[in-house]
Amino acid sequence: MRLAFLAILTLLAQAGRAASDFTASPPQSIAGFGSFQVLGGELFSPRLKAGYRFYVDPARAALFTVMRYRLRSGGSTDSQTEKFVWNERPGQRVPLRCFEWVEATSGGVWTEMHPGSPEYAGEMRTLGLVLAEQNRAYHRQVELESSQP
């Protein structure tokens, strides 16, 4: 029981740390964004270190409508650029909208990556890694919790 409690505290601490990374407003006005359910945390694997926040529209359960993440260099908590990927039209065969936060003297600005560009293709591969690692971490946590008495 105590181990399960410690695991929950660890997840909450990670989610809190990840939440502090994502202070910029969304790059586009997204209806209902404030009411979306949030899944956040940190990923630490040999392939990837990242903070993430995934948002689920309650009207479309089990679908990440927005995925925000920051890759980390060398496990540092110093953040690199933030990415914001938006499934603007779920169920339609259209590309995801992908934005990058670029630091500027006035704080920063979102720039959009365009489908078909090399940057967009590379970011979609990175997003696939982030999602795969988050899924692995989730299943490890479920396995850990189910093995506790």
**How does pLDDT run across 14-40, given as a tens digit for each residue?**
444 445 568 788 888 888 888 889 988
Q: Which of 69, 65, 92 is nearest to 80 (CA)?
A: 69
DSSP assignment of 85-114, as one string? EE-SSTTS--PPEEEEEE--TTS-EEEEEP
Given a cut of 90, is residue 127 above it in pLDDT?
yes
Please say whether the beta carbons of 56 and 65 come within 8 A.
Answer: yes
- Phi–psi pair at 130, nearest 5 degrees: -60, -45
The reply to whether the predicted model has a pTM over 0.85 is no
Q: What is the mean pLDDT of the chain?
A: 79
Q: What is the pLDDT of residues 36-86, one digit of tens each?
A: 899 888 888 887 788 899 999 888 887 899 999 988 765 444 446 789 999
> b/e per residue, 92-107, with b = 16+ CB within 10 A?
eeeebbbbbbeeeeee
Comparison of pLDDT for 4 and 64, the residue scoring more: 64
- How far apart, in Å, do the first and last CA atoms of the chain sit? 7
Q: What pLDDT does residue 25 have?
A: 84
Given a cut of 70, is residue 1 above it in pLDDT?
no
Q: What pLDDT does residue 73 have?
A: 64
d(CA 30, CA 6): 36
Q: Mean pLDDT across the stretch 103-132? A: 90
Query: Identity (one letter) of the amino acid at 100?
Result: E
Please say whether the beta carbons of 21 and 51 come within 8 A.
Answer: yes
Query: Identity (one letter) of the amino acid at 118?
Result: P
Tokens of 102: 């670029």
